[in-house]
Amino acid sequence: MRNLAEKWSPAPDWRTATLQTPGLVIRSLTGFTQYLVSGDLAAWSRRTDMDAAAVGALSVAQGERYALRVARDRILAVSETPFGIEPGWRASGFAVSTFDAGLHMIEIEGPDMSSLFARATTLDPAGETASAALLFAGANVLCYRHGHADRLRLHVDRALAPYLWKWLEQAIVA
């Protein structure tokens, strides 16, 4: 029987995975709390004091706790520390699902970030859009800037993270 494991390169050690060029640093981020919030986002905002509008693709999120717009009635709340809210349905009209294990986070930082973004997507690197969800190198990701204009963060389905990492490895040397 063929050993199919030889066909695929092993997934990187996400705790230490880093790629570096003179104009870019790409890191894997771990340890974040991610909640998917669906339904009445205004009710969620009142409950948590977080902005219901949330950030879209290429908007700049600030701080250690922020929200990304996924769809008209759905956001992804992200925090470096646990939220003080239990997952589940709320009678005020929204549902909270723990999503830490669902999405892997990758951070791309440096002056060459815009040209890498232009290779991966068809979106105008200078523009903004309501939803953070887009196709990045063919994978469905949530994409936004964090802290400043040259730092991009991606949330990708965990099963696609090794593929996206491989794509980034090849894109930065090509």
Partner 1 sequence: MQIFTCPFCGPRDESEFHFGGEAGNTRPDGADVPAERWARYLYMRANPKGATSEVWVHMTCGEFFIMERDSVGHKVAASHPLGGAEKSE
* CB of residue 1 to partner 1, shortest distance in Å: 37
* CB of residue 18 to partner 1, shortest distance in Å: 28
Please tell me whether residue 164 binds partner 1 under the rule CB under 8 A. Answer: no
As a whole number of angstroms, the distance between CA 116 and CA 69 comes to 23
Query: How many C-beta neighbours within 10 Å does residue 14 have?
Result: 17
Burial annotation 39-59 (CB, 10 A radius, 16+ → b, else e): bbbebbbeebebebebbbbbb
- Tell me which of 130, 160, 171, 172 binds partner 1, using CB under 8 A: 130
Residue 24 tokens read as 């870019």
Q: Considering beta carbons, is residue 15 or 72 the nearer one to partner 1?
A: 72
As a whole number of angstroms, the distance between CA 174 and CA 170 comes to 6
DSSP 8-state symbol, 48 = H
Size of the site for partner 1 (CB under 8 A): 16
Please tell me whether residue 159 binds partner 1 under the rule CB under 8 A. Answer: no
Please tell me whether residue 172 binds partner 1 under the rule CB under 8 A. Answer: no
Give the interface with partner 1 as residue ranges (CB under 8 A). Answer: 56-57, 70-72, 74, 121-123, 129-131, 133-135, 140
